[in-house]
Amino acid sequence: MSGDLFLLTGLLSGLLAILVALFTYRKVMKADEGDDRMKEVSHLIQEGANSFIKIQYRILTIFTLVLAVVMALAFGSLGIPIAISYILGSFASMSAGYIGLVIATRANRRTAAAAAEGGLNPAFMVAFRAGSVMGLMIAGIALVGLSLLYWIWNTVLPETFFTGVHVLRETALWEILTGFSFGASTVALFAKAGGGIFTKTADMAADIVGKIEQNIPEDDPRNPAAVADAVGDNVGDVAGTGADIFDSNVAAILAAALLGAAIDVTVHPSIVFGLLPLLITGLGTLASVVGVFLVRPNAKDEPGPALNRGTYVTTVLFAALVLVVLYVLEVDLAISLSAIFGLLAGVFIGFTSDVFTNDKGLFGFKPVQNMVENAEKSTANLILSGYSYGLLSAVPSVLGVVLALVAAFVLGNNATAMGLGGWEGGIYAVAIAAVGLLATNGLTMSSDSYGPIVDNARGVIEQAEECEEAIIACDKLDAAGNTAKAITKGFAIGSAAISVLALFAAFIESAEVFLLGKGIATEVVVDISDPFILSGVFIGALVPVTFTAMLILGVDRNAGRMIKEIRRQFQSDPGILAGTSKPDYDKCISIATSGAIRELMPSTLLAIGVTILTGIFLGLEALGGYLGGAVIVGFIMALLMSNAGGAWDNTKKMIESPEYDHSDPRYEQIHRNSVRGDMVGDPFKDTAGPSINTLLVVISLTATLFLPIIAQLHLWLVGLF
């Protein structure tokens, strides 16, 4: 009975989230769209975003179908179900990103109109409601997709189908659903990397030629890259991040389900641990739905506290639901506490990101204000301080994850009820912590999507030449949005770190089962004193480093092309800067689109290829070391780049704000310093940093999903020598 209950809870919670999202979408669409100029600018952004996403999704569709055919042929009797699951996961991830894009590109003009007519709070409510459509849709699609797919395969596939499969039915079902998660992850990596290259290409080019060389405002309609910059916010921060959070959520559920299924088939407990993650995520989604409706600023409130209140209320509600529901079901308290510890780790990482990226600081520790003082000295001082604070921000975040990991493992290891306990129980509790961390992603992603919507709204207001008060209101909303995005990235990065440990354990277990099926009864032990395994660790550590370099160099090359185009337009048509003629926005959008597609492919294929080749040439134990090296280095790099980038961005915004002394004779130079710092931070926080957590999930799923092929080829290679 409990299995059906868990499955039904996941399915109904997901459907509720989707229905609430649709209701909210209709409400947002009834808001005033503003004047004709606002509509014109917004439609340019909308058309550019749609143009990019169509090209990207066309390439992704071809990639998905080709790889699905390979899977169908390579995985034996499980091949066709895995391939179908992979296709469905890919298209579910694309849908999550596209839905966010649709609402964001329509909400920007409505937010701008609300800021122009009613000021800060009305604009906040339009933007946040629009963001909640994205957040709840992602949570809903993930739950409905996994629940329905599990039910379908469990119903359709007869018992005879599993004859000859090397694992039992329950474990085989989740191995089939690994394809769904792998599809979501590969799409997320393409979408996040491609969208990140697009958005930072336009942002950097617009800042260098517009702000620094021509001394015109950020979203000035005379800048040919202004619309491309706004388009980038949507394809990178909305569609890309949507696919990323969707992928992280599915991967966390899958990792726990794989480990839970192993407990189910060996212990036969009264609770179906393989399906329990769906119940916990369903409870988190219910808490998110309530939290979304409670996010409302007071009359004199800043947007940041309103967003934080939603997070805190949702966290408390989730903890209460988990404790009560799992107690009623007589599930060991260790599981409830592990889920709560996971969510608290996420909140702590988000809190850390908030401290290091907002303009207020905490307890006298004010990184961004200190960086403003450094910007008054020189660009070098600003960049050095931002990089150092980014490194420091990793310290509390890593310690928070370590505490959550250790606490969850100890709880699960010492559990005594229903067959839990020991190493398997400890690792399962760690996996549940990852599920708990992302269980409230419906609210987390709502806050994140709000960010690019208000950023776009500011651009719409400036290009429509609206009143200064509306721009100031949107600047305040945007500053809170930057912090919200940093918090969301912290959640995604932390969840990736914990989920990958669970996937790592699932990989070890799958490797041992596979070798046993081949008549090789051995434990897969990752001992770094072994030169082969240590080599795997080093190679794994290089993957996020190389991946980051390739993405940032991609931004650099593509931004160079756009800079040349902007300068060409200014030189060939002086009327652009004079305001008597319009720039060619489409040309800049085209450069960003073609360059982003071209630059993202090598880095994505490298990640998958190196993972498979490491296992083939060095063996499964070395592949385990490879995953460990990638996680340790990638986790710290992702935190560094996300938080340093957010701090540089908000430093610039503080210097541009009305509260800063613009009468200072050095103001122009100080402002240029802050813009240069922000340009360094842009590819950090919006391209490479947030792509790393997706990279970690992709390589972990690649190792687990392709394990039979990797192991078979390695055994064949060893036989040759």
H-helix or E-strand spanning residue 318:
helix 303-328
* DSSP, residue by residue, 538-587: HHHHHHHHHHHHHHHHHHHHHHHHHHHHHHHHHHH-THHHHTSS---HHH
Query: What pLDDT band is residue 436 in, cutting at 50, 70 and 90?
Result: very high
Q: Alpha-carbon distance 257 to 237, whole Å?
A: 29
Q: Alpha-carbon distance 113 to 109, whole Å?
A: 6
Q: Alpha-carbon distance 625 to 617, whole Å?
A: 13
**pLDDT for 541 beyond 70:** yes
**pLDDT for 529 beyond 50:** yes
**pLDDT for 195 beyond 90:** no
**pLDDT for 279 beyond 90:** yes
Q: Alpha-carbon distance 298 to 556, whole Å?
A: 43
Which tokens hold the place of 532? Answer: 């082969």
Query: What pLDDT band is residue 344 in, cutting at 50, 70 and 90?
Result: confident
**pLDDT for 699 beyond 80:** yes
Q: Output the pLDDT for position 168.
A: 67
CB 209 within 8 Å of CB 563: yes
From residue 696, give the alpha-carbon distance in Å to each of 498, 617, 634, 693: 11, 21, 7, 5
Average pLDDT, integer, range 277-283: 96
Average pLDDT, integer, range 279-306: 84
Percent of the chain with pLDDT over 70: 93
Which residues constitute the domain of residue 151?
Answer: 2-720
H-helix or E-strand spanning residue 195:
helix 169-205
**pLDDT for 485 beyond 70:** no
Q: Report the chain's terminal Cα–Cα distance, integer Å.
A: 53
User: What are the residues facing 362 on neighbouring strands?
Assistant: 365
What is the value of pTM for the model shown? 0.89
- For residue 470, the tally of other CB atoms under 10 A from its CB is 25
Q: Alpha-carbon distance 419 to 447, whole Å?
A: 39
Nearest C-alpha neighbor of 106 from the set 176, 168, 181, 29: 29
Bigger pLDDT: 165 vs 648: 648
How many CA atoms are closer than 13 Å to the CA of 404, on its beta-carbon side?
32
Torsion of CA 621, 622, 623, 626, to 10 degrees: 130
Percent of the chain with pLDDT over 90: 37
Which range among 69-83, 484-498, 554-568, 706-720 shows the weakest confidence by mean pLDDT?
A: 484-498
Q: Alpha-carbon distance 381 to 149, whole Å?
A: 53
**pLDDT for 633 beyond 90:** yes
**pLDDT for 360 beyond 80:** no
Cα 386 to the center of its chain, rounded Å: 22
Query: What pLDDT band is residue 501 in, cutting at 50, 70 and 90?
Result: confident
Task: Note the pLDDT tens digit of each residue in 232-249.
Answer: 878 877 888 788 788 888
**pLDDT for 301 beyond 70:** no
Our count of domains for the chain comes to 1
Which tokens hold the place of 716? Answer: 């064949």
Q: Alpha-carbon distance 225 to 231, whole Å?
A: 10
B/e letters for 183-194, b = 16+ CB within 10 Å, e = fewer, are: bbbbbbbbbbbb
Task: Note the pLDDT tens digit of each residue in 155-192.
Answer: 988 877 766 555 567 778 888 998 999 999 888 888 88
User: What are the residues facing 365 on neighbouring strands?
Assistant: 362
Q: Is 721 exposed, middle or buried (0-12, 13-18, 19+ CB in 10 A)?
A: exposed
**pLDDT for 698 beyond 90:** no
Which tokens hold the place of 640? Answer: 């560094």
* DSSP, residue by residue, 491-523: HHHHHHHHHHHHHHHHHHHHHHHHHHHTT----
Q: Is 294 exposed, middle or buried (0-12, 13-18, 19+ CB in 10 A)?
A: middle
Q: Output the pLDDT for position 1.
A: 47
CB 628 within 8 Å of CB 699: no
Q: Output the pLDDT for position 379.
A: 95
Bigger pLDDT: 71 vs 505: 71
Average pLDDT, integer, range 524-547: 91
Bigger pLDDT: 545 vs 707: 545
Query: What pLDDT band is residue 517 in, cutting at 50, 70 and 90?
Result: low
From residue 458, give the alpha-carbon distance in Å to each of 123, 358, 442, 709: 11, 19, 25, 51
**pLDDT for 395 beyond 90:** yes
Q: Alpha-carbon distance 198 to 52, whole Å?
A: 9
Q: Output the pLDDT for position 481.
A: 67
Bigger pLDDT: 38 vs 164: 38
Nearest C-alpha neighbor of 317 from the set 299, 290, 336: 290
**pLDDT for 483 beyond 70:** no
Query: What pLDDT band is residue 282 in, cutting at 50, 70 and 90?
Result: very high
Average pLDDT, integer, range 56-74: 90
Which tokens hold the place of 656? Answer: 């541009």
Bigger pLDDT: 642 vs 162: 642
Phi, psi of 166 (to 5 degrees): -75, -5
Cα 698 to the center of its chain, rounded Å: 13
Which tokens hold the place of 717? Answer: 């290679």
SS3 101: helix
Query: What pLDDT band is residue 568 in, cutting at 50, 70 and 90?
Result: very high
Task: Note the pLDDT tens digit of each residue in 456-477.
Answer: 888 788 777 767 777 777 777 8
Average pLDDT, integer, range 641-658: 89
**Cα 353–401–143 angle (5° rounding)?**
85
Task: Note the pLDDT tens digit of each residue in 312-329.
Answer: 888 899 999 999 999 998
Q: Alpha-carbon distance 251 to 234, whole Å?
A: 24
What's 31's DSSP letter?
S
Q: Which one-letter amino acid corresponds to residue 391?
A: L
User: What are the residues facing 530 on neighbouring strands?
Assistant: none
| Whole-angstrom Cα Rg for the chain | 25
Nearest C-alpha neighbor of 194 from the set 232, 166, 246: 232
Q: Which one-letter amino acid corresponds to residue 463?
A: Q
SS3 377: coil
